[in-house]
A and B are shown apart, each in its own frame.
Chain A
Amino acid sequence: MEIARLTIKDISRMLRNREASAVEITNGFYERIESTDAKIGAYISLCREKALEDAANAQKKADAGEGGLLNGVPAAVKDNMCTEGMATTCASRMLENFIPPYTATAVEKIKAEGAVLLGKLNLDEFAMGSSTGNSYFGQTKNPWDERRVPGGSSGGSAAAVASGQAVFALGSDTGGSIRQPAAFCGVVGLKPTYGTVSRHGLVAFASSLDQIGPLTKTVEDSAIVLNAISGRDQRDSTSMETGIPDYTEGIDGGARGLMIGVPSQYLSDGVSPGVRKQIGEAIKAYEKMGAVCEETSIELADYAIAAYYIISSAEASSNLARYDGIKYGYRSSGYANLTDLYNKTRSEGFGSEAKRRIMLGTYVLSSGYYDAYYKKALRVRRLIKNEFDALFKKYDLILGPTAPTTAFRIGEKEGNPLEMYMGDVFTVSVNIAGLPAISIPCGLDENNLPVGMQLIGKAFGERTILRAAKAFEMEFPFLISEEGGRHGL
């Protein structure tokens, strides 16, 4: 049993054929975590005892010929999703000891399908960042090169899946936080259409942009996890009934006849040559499979970053205001009065990136600046949506790189937040428009680092995305290496 390579489908088969028990599989993953995580640092916390109980239950179900889509599948979730009775830290000192009395809907749903929760994964504090370096619990490392970042903010999720520490993971994506780390770590990351997955129990960063999604080893696994987590939830007013009962349906339909637009802005000089080369190869592969790839243009691409950082920071400044030292979470020990309590608690409890976003967001919402920043950003948001709508009249999918570069070195962009923000240039507009998008491995660059390709679909067009991604995966296969990374053929 080569733990690192196992997919959801593999485990279902193994349990069915009695090749291994769910408990053995779960133990196998904990051994894998023990042997690799000292180097990678993907996990913030583990819950082995509970996981083994869950695995034993999964085995009983398997023996009875029952069990859900994810029965006995070891999985882990980003530590900004609430888990009842288990610390949910958001990688922040502020919530270091916060134990929620409820479980996030998405987590509840994978558990209901039989998934075995191994532990909680590292992230940038409150999901703010692109490196998983803004964590109170330390930097997660890229399994392909430990001197490099795994991306972020779902860096722990991507690194865990890439290094075989979990079969799949849940991440959250506000401006690329699933897709960019998936690209950096060579795994599949899907950000569903806004409203597809309930946000109940996801600690909010920017409510109008946040969306939970799967990080998996294969496209098909991505569809299976989405089957488990999607659907309307009464506890989240923004969640929707998607009307899609099965995301795996038609997944093997191939790419023939698909109209794919490739915006010229997505292959500009700002994109590294290695990434450009691989995306060029991908375009050729799609054409070979019978899809039509056409150069197009997204005029507003340049404004997406600014609009995104204004809107997301504005919402964050309000969402993070509740961490005031009164009710739960960190409270400074010495204070003279209420204002002092607020100031000290928030100064000591938040890291510098969270503070930067809070200040930025407070500023753009302040009277006198509101119209010039926040209101204008909302207008840009509307225009970007319109532009995508127009593009999707002609194209089934928009293709481009997930990020302009492959994984950068740890510390490389520290002290230059703007440069860090610019790395989100291809992902943020997808959140702004509420669209679904996937990042799938697309070979390696000259440094042997994974390149991610992004496919953007129309709202609730996940099935088209998954079909095209699966076709590409078959044409352009990856293998999981002995070292735990995934290497292109």
Chain B
Amino acid sequence: MDYEVVIGLEIHVELATKSKIFCGCTTEFGGEVNTHCCPVCTSMPGTLPVMNEKAVEFAVKAGLAMNCEIAEFSKMDRKNYFYPDLPKAYQISQFDLPICKGGYVDIDINGKMKRIGITRIHIEEDAGKLIHDPHGKGSLVDYNRCGVPLIEIVSEPDMSSPEEARKYFEKVRSILQYTGVSDCRMQEGSIRADVNLSLRPAGSTKLGTRTEMKNLNSFRSVFNAAESEIKRQSGILRQGGRVGQETRRWDDDAGKSFPMRNKEEAHDYRYFPEPDLVPIILTKERIDAYRESLPELPWKRFARYTEEMGIPGYDAGIITASVKTSDFFEEAVKYGADAKTAANWIMGDLMRLMNDAGTEDIPFGGKMLAELADLIGQGRISNNIAKTVLSEMFATGGTPSFIVKEKGLEVVSDRDELARIVDKVISHNKKSVEDYMGGKEKAMGFLMGQVMRETGGKANPTMVKAMLADGLKKAMEP
């Protein structure tokens, strides 16, 4: 029997607020244990939460960018359970009246658009972190993370392959970065996904039993976890077994998931409205103001790049996938770089440099790329030299003109100097000169290369070509 894959994602995202959701403590990552916390974070008796308005704004913006309906009335609820990393013994979250509902995100699957539904987006607070003594002498709690604002984005079970799940996760991350809602640093866990996956006989409309894999923090692990779970579940089904509803832990290194020994399944969270906070009431005007303040989103930029700038679709897709790259491109064009040239540099050398360094950050602005392109355009450096300059810029952050000057990379256009080298090359390469005179045009290329070698690639190629032609003509004369 053929099976159909059904996947839904729950994505938890840390919002880019400076302070925590219910107090003034910093949300900065890291920091000495228990230094980013106050009596509110540790839930001392008598303390009260006060809603960070910026967190509400970010949640609304995320919802708007994902085409959600924004609730004019929503409220916070308490989710009650005991655990040492949860100092109040309840998490302030949203239960039945989330701030955003019913949106969608479009993803590109082999050139075809697929729409993935968003069920809801709600606001909640993060918990602390347990630090277990490696010698088994007990556990300590770090409350720095307590009260860091999060949103949870719940999708419809609309994805039907690991590839779609990955694409959706990438797209959501891209939107969140564009809107400034989150910096989505994956290695800091500021965006993580839970994958809900089930199989059903092809053509069936009834959903099968799903499993949930928690806390996946890379695109690759979402893809791998989904693929592995499909194999596992179809294996069970093909043998006539039944998939059990459970939470599983994905082990990236092992490439396998394991059932979690988790009592959570039996948890009754006893949700009820948080009486310490007033409901979140948003006027139409305020929602509209947030909508208007949204920046240009990736699909809009994509359209502009392809339709107005003539950038190939594939390149535009890659450049717009990351707001950082896209902003870099925008800046380069703004400072006068030709759009296609800038795109080529990004797609070629810059992407390679970023991949090699394992980063998404370009250590200089688009303005610098424009300057580099300008140096080429003025004929002050060659294309090849420009590649060297770019590597140097990436490594040191220096400006192109500074690097060119300091390293003496400027094109040699000194006629006497070049004449001396051309003469030398002609007199030292008799064989090639003869070949050329014998009608082998290719020999010209070799002689050019020799001049370039002598000048460390800096010779002005147009001048060299003309001078070589002159020199050879003279040599041919008896």
Contacts and interface: CB of A to CB of B under 8 A. Distances in A.
Given A102-B39, A207-B276, A208-B275, A322 B87 contact: yes
Interface stretch (A34-42, A154-162, A178-186, A195-203): A195-203
A366 B270 contact: yes
Interface stretch (B47-55, B244-252, B297-305): B47-55
Interface string B403-429: 000000000000000000000000000
Contact of A365 (B44, B272, B275): B272
Given A234-B50, A238-B278, A326-B87, A100 B44 contact: yes
A370 B272 CA distance: 9
Q: Which of B45, B46, B48 has the most chain A CB atoms inside 10 A of its CB?
A: B45
B126 to A, nearest CB: 17
Interface in B242-271: 268, 270-271
Interface string B14-55: 000000000000000000000000010011111111110000
Given A82-B45, A88-B45, A237 B268 contact: no
Contacts of B141: 326-327
A332 B200 CA distance: 51
A338 interface: yes
A206 to B, nearest CB: 8
A41 B404 CA distance: 87
B276 A90 contact: no
B80 A203 contact: no
A324 B39 contact: no
A122 B50 CA distance: 30
A315 B270 contact: no
A104 B46 contact: yes
A366 B80 CA distance: 11
Nearest to A328: B44
Nearest to A209: B275
A227 interface: no
Interface in B85-112: 87-90
A101 B270 CA distance: 31
Interface in A349-372: 362, 365-367, 370
Interface size of A as a range: 35 or more
Contact of B88 (A90, A104, A238, A322): A322
Nearest to A321: B89
B472 interface: no
B270 A318 contact: yes
B277 interface: yes
Contacts of B46: 81-82, 88, 100, 102, 104, 200-204
Main secondary structure of the interface of A (DSSP, over half): loop
A98 B43 CA distance: 13
B276 A238 contact: yes
A24 interface: no
A199 B88 contact: no
A236 B87 contact: no
B84 interface: yes
B90 A200 contact: no
Contacts of A203: 45-46
A200 B48 contact: yes
Interface residues of B, number: 28
B88 to A, nearest CB: 5
Nearest to A374: B272
A303 B319 CA distance: 65
B290 interface: no
Contacts of B87: 322, 326-327
B127 to A, nearest CB: 13
B45 A90 contact: yes
Interface in B122-144: 141
A235 interface: yes
A206 B48 CA distance: 13
B78 interface: yes
Contacts of A101: 39, 44
B82 interface: yes
Interface in A208-254: 208, 234-238
A375 to B, nearest CB: 9
Contacts of B268: 366-367
Contact of A199 (B48, B78, B90, B271): B48
A324 B49 CA distance: 20
Contacts of A90: 45
Contacts of A366: 268, 270
B48 A315 contact: no
A487 to B, nearest CB: 37
B315 to A, nearest CB: 49
Nearest to A195: B278
A314 interface: yes
B80 A318 contact: yes
A321 B82 CA distance: 8
A365 B51 CA distance: 24
A235 B44 contact: no
A90 B46 CA distance: 11
Contacts of B49: 237
A322 B89 contact: yes
A234 to B, nearest CB: 7
A338 B39 CA distance: 23
Interface in A56-88: 81-82, 88
B278 A237 contact: yes
A309 interface: no
Contacts of B275: 206-208, 238, 315
A365 B89 contact: no
A203 B47 CA distance: 8
A433 interface: no
Q: Which of B50, B90, B276 has the most chain A CB atoms inside 10 A of its CB?
A: B276
B44 A342 contact: no
Contact of A318 (B42, B272, B277, B278): B272
Nearest to A198: B48
Contact of A326 (B84, B90, B270, B277): B84
A327 to B, nearest CB: 6
A459 to B, nearest CB: 15
A440 interface: no
B55 to A, nearest CB: 14
A95 interface: yes
Contacts of B47: 102, 200-201
A204 B45 CA distance: 7
A206 B49 CA distance: 15
Contacts of A235: 48, 50
A204 B80 CA distance: 16
A321 B45 contact: no
A258 B329 CA distance: 75
A88 to B, nearest CB: 7
B45 A314 contact: no
A362 B82 CA distance: 13
Contact of B80 (A88, A200, A207, A321): A321
A366 B267 CA distance: 10
Contacts of B88: 321-322
Nearest to B45: A203
Contacts of A362: 270
B43 A327 contact: yes
Given A234-B50, A236-B50, A314-B272, 15 more contacts: A82-B46, A88-B45, A100-B39, A200-B46, A237-B276, A317-B80, A318-B78, A321-B89, A322-B88, A326-B84, A326-B141, A328-B44, A365-B80, A366-B268, A374-B272
Interface of B: 39, 42-51, 78, 80, 82, 84, 87-90, 141, 268, 270-272, 275-278
Interface of A: 81-82, 88, 90, 95, 98, 100-102, 104, 199-204, 206-208, 234-238, 314-315, 317-318, 321-322, 324, 326-328, 338, 342, 362, 365-367, 370, 374
21 contacts: A100-B44, A100-B46, A101-B44, A200-B48, A203-B45, A203-B46, A204-B46, A206-B275, A234-B50, A237-B48, A237-B49, A237-B51, A237-B276, A238-B275, A238-B278, A315-B272, A327-B43, A328-B44, A365-B270, A365-B272, A367-B270
Q: Which 7 A-B pairs have the closest CB atoms?
A: A321-B89, A208-B275, A365-B270, A207-B275, A203-B45, A201-B46, A82-B46
